[in-house]
Amino acid sequence: MQTKRTIFPNRWLPFALLAPQLAITLVFFIWPALQAAKSSFEREDPFGFKTTFIWFDNYAKLLADPMYLNSLWRTLIFSVLVTVIAMSVSLVLAVATNRLLRSGRIYTTLLVWPYAVAPVVAGILWWFMFNPSIGILSYVLGQLGVDWNHRVNQDQAMILVVLAASWKQISYNFLFFVAGLQSVPASLSEAAAIDGAGPFKRFWTIVVPLLSPTTFFLLIVNINYAMFDTFGVIDGTTGGGPAQSTNILVYKVYADGFLGLNIGSSAAQSVLLMLIVIVLTIVQFRFIERRVQY
Amino acid sequence: MVRYPLAAGLAVLTVALTSSVALAQTEVTWWHAMGGELGTKLEEVAANFNASQSDYVVTPVYKGSYAETLTAAIAAFRANEQPAIVQVFEVGTGTMMAAKGAVYPVYKLMEDNNQPWDTAGFLAPVTGYYSDPEGNILSLPFNSSTPIMYYNKDAFEKAGLDRDVAPKTWAEVEEFSKKIVASGAATCGFTTGWVSWIQTENLSAIHDLPYGTLQNGFGGLGTEFTFNGETQARHWDNLAKWSKEGVFKYGGPVGGNDAPPLFYSGECAIYMNSSASRAGVVANSKDFEVGFAPLPYYEDVIAEPKNSIIGGATLWVLNGKSDDVYAGAAQFFTYLSQPEVQADWHQFTGYLPITNAAFELGEEQGYYAEHPGSDIAIKQITRGTPSENSKGIRFGNLTQVRDVIDQEFEAVLGGSKTGQQALDEAVQRGNVILREFEAANQ
């Protein structure tokens, strides 16, 4: 561990430099978060004429609602699957691309493209391919004897949203992994090769540990992505159905608040979601970060 | 650059022109949810009104689905950026009626602006749905519809059925569908849009079964759902059974977006959806002839099926605009209520004629004789005397309740619940939503 200390002669300069970032955080994060916390204690009619303070009613109702607990469970399955799939596939792709000298750049460019697709568009794309009546993939699956109908089959619906959400995130992970792999000094692998270590041994003992800061960073980003950023994908593919089997927390917040106009409950849900992510991030930093070698 | 002065000149000219137009005419914004063929027609209606006079400009703005339009209007109202007119589907009626401070009732708007307004001229089932307990119409009925049955005449013939005879009862729907699937005329018997609206709400009305207490919600806020009856449960079980047998194909929740392509492509031979789908059905079903028929019923439950209930939307006027804007809105509503305008809209789209005069005009023009089946919706919604159970339904937060119904129905389709279990659960969850609405609006 090295310590870095720079002494600024001007006392106010650091604050001035930080001010824009702080202002943005305050206006776009802290203030809305406080607003959400406030409305989570209120009951309000859709048009906002009458607001009643109701203490913890919204929270009590949520925690007693089997649908909310179902959503919590679905979110867990979904986030774990998306994180594992998106990270492992992109690592494989990154390693494969990294071996190529000349065509590597072309593959890199092509693999980054999906990231430019908006989440809802990605959702619609997958919805199209797997659409039970007009989809090309559901047709192919039908020929293979798989009756694909995610409108009715809950497991298939989950598979669909996991695929769509992972596909969207793979490009992002891929970029970071490629950058990470390129910073692994070739001399270490060469030395190990001279010592007689096979390619898998070299990968596990040299590349993986040196890649751990990237992996750790991506782990946090991916979990946050799966929990917060996927509602467009869900909206485009399944709309949370069938029978709420893909109704993850962030989609439920949107559906209850924006479509159902139940602002109080929606606010309470977003506060809970925020707490969950805060706890998760703390856990990650306290326990997993110890294994990271910088 | 040679082109530059020209472009600049054009820009100045355009600005001058538009600003002079803006000064002379009052803009009346109109948020709506009509996409596709319907949206094009709606814009034509607005353009015709704009051309008919020079004081006002009605600007239609497409805001997405019905639910999205309602949500957008409410959000805009909270931000004081609301449109003058917003199209709200029948499901949002309870919500809008409860929002007294946000709404400028249409009967009052017309009175304040000295526009002719005759409640008796409107089709009775339509006025009943949108009136307050004193009989005043609160929103302008614009596009009301009711679900009907469409069928593929060519597929019927291929299956050895009479191409001009549609199934009347659910038993016949099953029988015909099985014949169609067995003969290979189509791979699925029937599909439907709107399970909540057609296979639950309308099913209850047609069979004269209550949907909720207090006259289906017309009597006040303290209402509870009662749609978990034997017939509804049996119907849901049947749909699940038929889904497994390949007789029925589910088209998805809410409006059932997957249902129309199933019918258009010839995959399903029968299709139940709003009468307003007619423009789309006729435009998209190019390879076969389409037949129209009333919705089926269970003959052992009711011998003489009751009238079906309304869907579609009305135009609500929102508070907080200037008098000029309201004068324009009132004049626009008068224009919309004219028999010629109404009849044209109705005949093009398949929505119901809103006024008796528009229906009579259509008869005079020979429209119904020329287009067999185009009067099915009107006949179905006006058959018999409406009972308390078939007058309509009015509940707050009904959008959310419909989502619950879709979720529970999907559980039945997936085989994890029986129809009765799912409906009991839906009633219970629906009542929680009703209590929420009651608490927020008392």
C-alpha closest to that of A233 among A156, A277, A169: A169
Query: For the stretch B391-430, what's the b/e string if a residue is b when 16 or more beta carbons lie within 10 angstroms of its beta carbon?
Result: bbbbbbbbbbbbbbbbbbbbbbbbeebebbbbbebbbebb
Q: What mean pLDDT value characterizes chain A?
A: 88
What integer is the mean pLDDT of A30-45?
Answer: 91
Q: Which carries the bigger pLDDT value, residue B4 or residue B424?
A: B424
What integer is the mean pLDDT of A193-220?
Answer: 89
CA atoms A91, A92, A95, A101: torsion sign: negative
CB atoms within 10 A of CB B384: 11
| pTM summary value | 0.84
- Give pLDDT, residue B19: 47
Chain A residue with CA closest to B399: the answer is: A260
CB atoms within 10 A of CB A197: 16
Q: Is B265 on the interface with A (CB under 8 A)?
A: yes
- CB atoms B439 and A43 under 8 Å: yes
- Give pLDDT, residue B406: 94
- CB atoms B407 and A243 under 8 Å: yes
Give the whole-angstrom CA distance, residue B315 versus residue B89.
Answer: 9
C-alpha closest to that of B142 among B416, B354, B367: B354
Give the whole-angstrom CA distance, residue B152 versus residue B284.
Answer: 12
CB contacts of B262 in chain A (<8 Å) are 133
Residue B200, exposed/middle/buried by CB under 10 A (0-12, 13-18, 19+)? buried
Tokens read off for B258: 């997957």
What integer is the mean pLDDT of B279-293?
Answer: 91
Q: What is the pLDDT of residues B204-224, one digit of tens each?
A: 999 999 999 999 998 888 999
Tokens read off for B274: 């709003």
DSSP helix/strand/coil, B292: strand
- Give pLDDT, residue B23: 54
Q: Are B195 and B400 in contact (CB under 8 A)?
A: no
What integer is the mean pLDDT of A175-183?
Answer: 90
Q: Are A277 and A227 in contact (CB under 8 A)?
A: yes
- CB atoms A262 and B400 under 8 Å: yes
- Give pLDDT, residue B3: 45
CB contacts of B403 in chain A (<8 Å) are 255, 259-260
CB atoms within 10 A of CB A26: 11
- Give pLDDT, residue A4: 64
Mutate to test the interface with B, among A43, A45, A158, A258 (most CBs of B within 10 A): A45
DSSP helix/strand/coil, B113: coil
Q: What mean pLDDT value characterizes chain B?
A: 90
CA atoms A18, A19, A20, A22: torsion sign: positive
DSSP helix/strand/coil, A210: helix
- A–B interface: beta-carbon pairs under 8 A: 91
Dihedral angle over CA of A175, A177, A183, A184, nearest 10: -160
Give residue B15's pLDDT band: very low, low, confident or very high (50, 70, 90): very low
Q: What is the pLDDT of residues A110-161, one digit of tens each?
A: 888 888 888 888 888 898 899 887 789 988 998 998 888 888 889 999 999 9
Give the whole-angstrom CA distance, residue A190 versus residue A174.
Answer: 24
Give the whole-angstrom CA distance, residue B153 versus residue B270.
Answer: 9
What integer is the mean pLDDT of B318-329?
Answer: 95
Bridge partners (DSSP) listed for residue B60: B30
- Give pLDDT, residue B342: 93
Q: Are B161 and B297 in contact (CB under 8 A)?
A: no
Chain B residue with CA closest to A61: the answer is: B432
**Element spanning B293, H or E:** strand B290-293
Q: Is B424 on the interface with A (CB under 8 A)?
A: no
Q: What is the pLDDT of residues A61-112, one digit of tens each?
A: 899 988 899 999 999 999 999 999 999 999 999 998 888 767 878 888 888 8
